Structure 1
Amino acid sequence: MPVFATLAALPRRLGVVPRLVLLTLLSVVCVAAVSSGTILLQMRQYALAQSQQELESNLAMLKALLALQGREWRLQGETLLLDGKPVNGRMEVVDTVKAVAGGVATIFAGDTRVATNVTRPDGGRAVGTKLAPGPAYDAVFRRGEAYHGVNVILGAEHQTIYEPIRDPEGRVVGLLFVGQPLAALMATQDRLAFTALWTGAAVTLPVALAVWWLMSLVLRPLKGLAGAVNAIAAGQFDRPVPCTERHDQLGEIGRAVRSLGEGARQARALEAAAEAQRSQAAAAQRQMQAALAGQIESAVGGIARALGGEVERLESATRAVGEGTGAAARDAGAATERAQGATRNVQAVAAAADQLAASVEEITRRVSDGAAVTRQAVEAVDASDATVAGLSAAAARIGDVVKLIADIAGQTNLLALNATIEAARAGEAGKGFAVVASEVKSLANQTARATEEIGTQINAMRSATGQAVQTVRGIAQAVGRMDEVTSAIAAAVEEQSAATREIARNAAAAASGTQGAADSTERLGAHVGTAAGALEALREATTAVAQQGQALRQELVEVVGRLRAG
C-alpha cells in the first residue's frame, strides 16, 4: 500500500515510537475515512429515499388539489382542460404544494409547462418551456409509465416524479411533476461530512497523544536491552541485563540477551583455546613440511635425472631411426622413379607391339586381297585364252568366207567380160547392157581387191591372235606362280601377326607388373614418409616431455622451498 511504503521510506534516525505512533494514526485515519465514507453513503441513500417519499406525498397533494377542480382531463390544442376548465396558468395549485411540502411542482399540457413554480435563471417562471428529451420523456410519452429518478431541469439536477395525465380514451395528454433540487440535499450532506471530519480530527489528536505516551512507557526498557547487547558486542560480558525478571515479551527478550552474553563468553573462551591449538598445529605442520620437502626434493631429483637420461636415449634412438627412415624414403623415392620409368618404357613397347600387330594384320588383309585379285586375274587370263582361241577360229572361218567371196568376184568378172563381148556383138542394142556389164566388172574388180585386202588383214589378225594366245598363256602361268607366292606370303604374315600379338600381350603383362611394382614402391615411400612424420612427432613429444620434466622439476623445487619456508 502507498501509505505503508511512505512509512517505510522515513529516515532511519526516526525512532520506533514515532513510527508506531504514525502507524497507529494512519490506521485510525484509514478506519475513520472508511467509516465516514460508508456512513455518508448510507446517509445519501437515506436522504434520497426520504426525498422520494416526500415527493410521493407532494404528488398525492397535487393530485388531491386538482381532484377538487374536476376529474376528466382533455387537451384542446395547447390548452389542458379539467372538466372543461382550463388549467393553464393555475399557479396557485403548484404554489400551494411548494408552500406546504416544499420542492417544486409543474402541470404539463402535452410536453409544455403551463403551470409551474420552476424558475428560469432570470427568476421568472418557466411557463411555456418544454420537457427536454431524456429518460423522463421516454418513460411518459413513449412507454406511458411514471418516472422516478434524477432528471436535469433547466440545467439543474432534481430528484423527480413524472406521472402521465390521461384523457377518458387513455391517451397521454399531459403530466404532473414534483421534484426537489439535488443541490439542497447535497448541501445537507456536505455539512454532515464536514462535521464528521472535524469530529474525527478532534478524536484522533488525543488518541495520538495517548498512543505516544503508552508506546514510550512500553518501549523505554528497550534502551536498556540495546545497551546490554552493545556491551556484549564489545566483549563486556559482566554488564547486567535488564528486564530478565519480567513475564512479558520484554522479559523474554532480556533473558534471550542474557543467554546471548553467556554464549558469547563461552565462544570467546573456545576461540582462545582454538587459537592455542592452531599455534601448536602450525609448528607441527612446519616440521612436517620441512621433512616432506626433503623427501620430495630427493625423490624428485632422482626421478628428474632418470627421466632426463631416458629422454636423451629416446631422442638419440629417434634421431637414428629418423635418419634411417629418411634414407629409406629417399631410396623408395628413387626406386619409385625407376619403376615408373620402366613402366613407361614397357608401356611404350606394348604400344609399339600393338601398333606392329595392327600393321601386320593390315598387311595380312592386303596380301589376302592381293591373292584374291591374283586368282581373279588367273580366271580372267583363262577366259582371255578361250576368247582368243575363239577369235582365231572365227578369223579362220572369215578367211574361208573371204576366199569364197574372191572366187565369186572372179566368176563375176568372167561373166562381166562375157557380157561385154556379147554386148559388143549386139551393137547399138547392147550398149546399155555393155555399160552395166562394165559396171559389174568394175565392182567385181573392187570386190576382188577388197577381198584381197581383207584376206591380208585376216592373215595378220590370225598371226597376232596366235601371238596373243601365246602371251596370255605366259601371263596365266606367271599369275599362277604369283598366286602361289602370295599364298606363301599370307601364311608367313599370319604367323608373324600371331607372334606380334603374343609380344603385345607379354608387353602389356610386363607393363602391368611394372606398374604394380611402381605402386608398391610408391606406397612404401608413403609409409616411410608417414613413419618419418610419426618419428618427428615422437621427437617433438620427447622434447616437450623433457621440457615439461624440467618445468616440473623447477616447480617442485619451488614447492619444496615454500614447504621449507612454512
Structure 2
Amino acid sequence: MRHSSIPLLPILFDSGIFALLWVSRSICRLTIVMNQVARGNDDAESPCTDRTNEVGAMARAFRDQCEMRRRLAAQHARAAEPAQKRHMLMVGLANDFETAVGGIATALAASATGIQPTAPTLTVSASQTAGQSTAVAAAAERAATDVFSGSGAAEERGVSVEEIRRQVPHSSDLVQNAVTEAGTASAVVSALSAAAVRIGDVVQMISTIASQITLLALSATIGAARAGDAGHGFAVAAAEVGKPAGQTTQATDGQIATIEGTMQAAVEAIAAISTIQVINEAAGSIAGAAEQQGAATREIVTAVSQTSAGTRAVTAKRQGLPVLARFPWIGRQESCGASGHQALPVRSIGVR
C-alpha cells in the first residue's frame, strides 16, 4: 500500500503546479484588463467571465463594475450637456452686454465731453454782458447827473441836453450789444439744454438695459437653483453678471438726477437772459425822450422831467443787470460740472 501511493505524489505535484499556473495566468490577464481600465480604456473586455470558479466571479464582478462606470459616465455627460449649453449662452449674453454697454458708454462720454468746449463761449458772453451792463449803469448815472444839473440853471440847459443826446445813443448801442450777446448766450444755453436731454435719453437707455440684464440674471439664478448641484456654477455666473448690472442701474439713476438739475439751470438761465430785452426797450424810451428835448427847447423842463424819470428807471433796472449777467456764468459752471461728472462714470463703464 505504501509503495502504491508513492507514484501519485509526482502526479499531485504536477497537478498543483498546473492549477497554480492556470490560476496565475487568468489573474494576470485580469490584471492587464484592470490596468487598461485604470488608464481610461472603458471599452476593454473582461476575460474569464464564463468560468465558474473564484476567478470567474472576480471577472464578472469587475465586468459589472465597468458597465456601471460606463453608464455613470454616460449619465454624467447627458447631465453636463444642458449646463454647458447654458454656460455658453450666458457667456454670449455677457459678451453682447459688454459690447452694447461699451458702445453706448463711449458715445455718452463723447457727448458729455462735447458739451465742455461750448462752455468758454458762454463764459465770454456772460463776461461781456456784465461789462456792458456796468457801462450802461455808468452812462445812466451820468445822464441823471446832467439832468439834475440842467434843472438848476437855465443857462446850462443846452449843455445838459447835448450831453444827454450824446450819452443816450452810446447807452443804446451798449444795450443793443448786450441784447445781441444775450441772444448768443441764450442759444448756447439752449444747445446745452438739448445736449443734456440727449444725454438723459442715453443714460435712460443704459438704465433700461441694466434692468433687463438684472432680470435675466435673476431668472437664470432661479433656474440654476432648481437644477440643484448641477446648476451651482451657473448660479455663480448669473450672480456675477447681475452684480455689474445693478451697479450700472445705481450709477445711471444718479446721473439722471444730475442731468435734470443741469436742464433746470439752463431753463433759469434762458429766462434770466430774456429780461435783457426789457432793458433794450427802456433804452429806446430814453432815446425818444432825448429827441424830444432837442426838438423843443421851450419844453425843456418837461423834457428834463421825462429824462429824469427815464434815468431813474434805468438806474433801477441796472441794479439787476449784474445779477442777470451772472446767470449765464452760473449756468456754464453747472453745465461744465454736470458734463464732467457724467463723463467719469461713463468712462468707468466703458473700461469694464
Question: Which one has a bigger Cα radius of gyration?
Answer: 1
**TM-score class normalised by the smaller sequence:** 0.3 to 0.5
TM-score, with normalisation over the residues of structure 1? 0.24
Structure holding more helix per residue: 2
TM-score, with normalisation over the residues of structure 2? 0.36
Structure holding more strand per residue: 1
Structure ranking higher on relative contact order (CA contacts 8 Å, 6+ apart): 2
